[in-house]
Amino acid sequence: ERYFAGSAILQGKRVLVTAGGTIERIDPVRYITNDSSGKMGYAIAEEAARMGAQVTLVSGPTALPVPKGCQLVPVKSALDMREAVLSRLDASDLIIKAAAVADYRPAVIEPQKIKKKSDSLTLELVKNPDILQEIGTLKKEQFVVGFAAETEKLDEHALDKLQRKNCDLIVGNDVSQEGAGFSGDTNAVRIFDRNGLVEALPVQSKQAVARRLLEIAAARMKPKR
Ligand code: CTP
Ligand code: CA
C-alpha cells in the first residue's frame, strides 16, 4: 500500500537497486563473499515501490523475502551482477548501488572440490570490474547513487569514491559505528554530493534511512521530458 497520494514522489520512475553481497566461487562447495545482509538495499527497494516507482532489485543471495511490488533479479557473482545491471541501464531512471560487490574473485573456479593436501594453500584472486564506475562512465540522464562502506576517514573516502565513480550522490556508511553497518536493522549514514555533505542521518531504522535517501534523490532528479 502507498502512504498517501502526495507521497508518490517516484511515480513513473524506473528504479534499479542492487543489494546483498556477491559470492565468488572457489570450487563446487566453496566461495568467498563480503559481510552483507542485504537489508539496506531491500529497504530502499521496498520504499521506492511504495513511492510509486517501478523497481528492479538485482540482488546477491540473501535470507530476505522479495520486497512487495519489486521485481527480483537474483545474481551470484560480481560478473553476474555487472551483466544484470549494465543490460538494464538504459531502462533505468534512478540507480542505487547498495550491493557489497566482492572486489576480487578467484582467478580460476576449480571444476572439482579442492582436496586438502599441503599445510598451506594459496588462492590467486583477480580484480572484479567496478560496476558503479562503469555506470558512471556510461550514464546519460540516469541519477546514480553509490554507497561507500568505510571503517575510517568516512568523509574523505566517500567523496573520493563519488568523484572517481561519477555518482550524483554517495551514501557514506561507517560500518564500524554502533547501530550502523550490515547485519542490524538500523543504520547511520552521511550523504554527499559533489560539493560535500548534504545530510547526516543519525542512527535510525534502515526503512527510515531508505525513505530519506529516496526523498533527497527524487528532489534532485530531472523531471521526465
Ligand atoms: N562497487 C561496484 N563494483 C565493485 C565494487 C564496488 O559497483 N566491483 C560499488 C558498490 O556497490 C558501492 C560502491 O561501489 O556502491 C563503493 O563500494 P566500496 O566497496 O565501498 O568501494 P570500493 O571502490 O570497492 O573501494 P574499497 O573497497 O577499496 O574501499
Ligand atoms: Ca570494495
Q: What integer pLDDT is reported at residue 3 of this predicted model? A: 54
Distance 135 CA to ligand 1 centre (A): 12
Q: Give the bridge partners for 14, in sequence order.
A: 54
The CA distance from 39 to 88, in Å, is 22
> How many domains, in total, are found in the chain?
1
**Closest C-alpha to ligand 1, atom 8:** 130
Domain assignment present for 146: yes
Per-residue HEC secondary structure of 114-177 comes to CCCCCCCCCCCEEECCCHHHHHHHHCCCCEEEEEEEECCCHHHHHHHHHHHHCCCEEEEEECCC
User: Is the ipTM of this structure higher than 0.90?
Assistant: yes
What CATH number has the domain bearing residue 77?
Answer: 3.40.50.10300
Residue 200 lies in a domain: yes
Mean predicted confidence (pLDDT) in 170-195: 92
Q: Which residues are annotated as a binding site for CTP?
A: 103, 113, 129-132, 147, 161, 165
Pairing of strands 70-74, 94-97: unpaired
Q: Enumerate the active-site residues.
A: 34
* Per-residue confidence band for 46, with pLDDT thresholds at 50, 70 and 90: very high
Mean pLDDT of 160-177: 95
Question: Where do runs of H (alpha helix) occur along the chain?
Answer: 39-50, 78-86, 131-138, 154-165, 206-220
Q: Is residue 174 part of a domain?
A: yes
What confidence score (pLDDT) does residue 91 get? 97
CB 48 within 8 A of CB 214: yes
Range of the domain at 189: 5-110+124-220
Question: Would 189 be classed as within a structural domain?
Answer: yes
For residue 157, which atom of ligand 1 is closest to its CA? Answer: 29
Report the separation in Å between the CA atom of 100 and the middle of ligand 1, taken as the mean of its atom positions: 7
Residue 118 maps to a domain: no
65-93 pLDDT per residue, tens: 999 999 999 999 999 999 999 999 999 99
Q: What is the pLDDT of residue 224?
A: 63
Residue 78 lies in a domain: yes
N-to-C CA span, the chain: 28
pLDDT for position 54:
98
Q: Which of 40, 58, 101 to mutate to test the pocket of ligand 1 (most atoms within 8 A of CB)?
A: 101
Q: How confident is the model at residue 223 (pLDDT cuts 50, 70, 90)?
A: confident
User: Per the structure block, which three cell numbers stand in for 74?
Assistant: 537474483
Answer yes or no: is 101 within a domain: yes
Q: Which ligand 1 atom sits closest to the C-alpha of 100?
A: 11
Mean residue pLDDT of the chain comes to 95
- Tell me the binding residues: 103, 113, 129-132, 147, 161, 165
Using CB distances shorter than 6 Å, the residues near ligand 1 are: 78, 97, 99, 101, 103, 128, 130-132, 146-149, 161
Cell (9 digits) for 119: 599445510
What is the position in ligand 1's atom list of the atom closest to the CA of 146? 15
pLDDT class for 4, splitting at 50, 70, 90? low
Q: What is the enclosing helix (H) or strand (E) of 199?
A: strand 196-205
